[in-house]
Amino acid sequence: MSIPTTCRAAVMKNEGADFSLAIEDVGVPEPGTNQVLVRMSTSGVCYSDLHYMLNDTPAPPMSKFGVFSAGHEGCGVVVKLGPSVRNLEVGSRVGIKPIWTTCGSCDRCWGDMETHCAKKVNTGLGVAGTFQHYMVADAGHVIPIPEGVPDDLAATLMCSAATAYRSVKSAGLLPGSDVVVLGGGGGVGIQVIQVAKIFGFHTIAVDIGDSKRDLALEMGADDFVDVGEVADPVAEVARLTNGGAQGVFVTAPPAYKNALDYIGSRIGGVVMCIGLPAANSGNNIVANPGLLILKHLSIKGSLVGTREDTNTVLNYAQRGLIKPFSQSIRLDELPGKMQAMKEGKQMKKLVVDFNL
């Protein structure tokens, strides 16, 4: 298999509030021990990529690691094996997750908390990500993609769907529970809706606009509350749920401020924090301890999915339970689309198709 010495990549310029992307040729990396070289077929575009390049997260900046290509949810084909790789072959179809590698030897890695490993490396932050055509990956952390799962869907399963599944699973709710998804028309919100349907929940999406209403209902939401049309969305959710939601999944950070209100009169409700707010954004939950005690309420955070979580959503997708909903674009369209994301003008979930 012929491997070029350079490849196209979306390269970040001027890290921070005024960053931009340029499509440039970069060197094709060489895989090291227990690593593989992957030729990317697709890469999802996530708001975490935007925040990494804006450098407004609690994480160190990309530039600290010498990384200038973001992207952390991708699908591709192994084209070269590094020394000691035994679990993959050239030609293996694999997915790239947000967590590039972990130490593999701490109690978090041995348990169900590998994404919280203190020595983890984040894809597109600590190492070059999926916004370049060829990238190196840890052979132990790529995910085999099963037959029947198309490249565009496989890419989005690596982050948004696995993150959604992790949160829904962690909520610990029973089938039939009333749940609300704040930001339910966005990329992660739609995945929460699809997973919630699998879990047997009655799901209400809260967002704004007809296009998000149509998509949320198409993907499995039972009801949609449009904050642009309904004077009191909290009261409307209470009406639809006979008092309030048992689970509140927050994918849009501005919704944190009144997330607890959606619990209403329910006892034992849970708010799941999924969307990571920008540093100093003021998008916080202010909780009265007395209210938490008297209503037996929980507020829980949920990070991205583990390898096991990711494999689970791949199996769901193979069975047709998680469906694609993204818009495919060329790599050279990404700079303009990312600028639109910065300005809040990009509504659809995007997937870069390197074959276009």
- In tens, the pLDDT along 28-37 reads 999 999 999 9
Region 38-44: mean pLDDT is: 98
Type and span of the H or E element at 329: strand 327-329
Q: Is the pTM of this model over 0.85?
A: yes
Cα–Cα nearest to 47, from 282, 320, 342: 342
The whole-angstrom separation of Cα 154 and Cα 161 is 10
Confidence bin at 279 (pLDDT 50/70/90): confident
Residue 20, strand partner residues: 13
Helix (H, G, I), strand (E, B) or coil at 103: coil
Region 20-45: mean pLDDT is: 98
Confidence bin at 344 (pLDDT 50/70/90): confident
Region 310-335: mean pLDDT is: 97
Q: What Cα–Cα distance (Å) separates residue 180 from each residue in 71, 174, 247, 250, 253? A: 29, 14, 6, 8, 15
Tell me the per-residue pLDDT of 126-176, one tens digit each, with 9 for 90 and over.
999 999 999 999 999 999 999 999 999 999 999 999 999 999 999 999 999
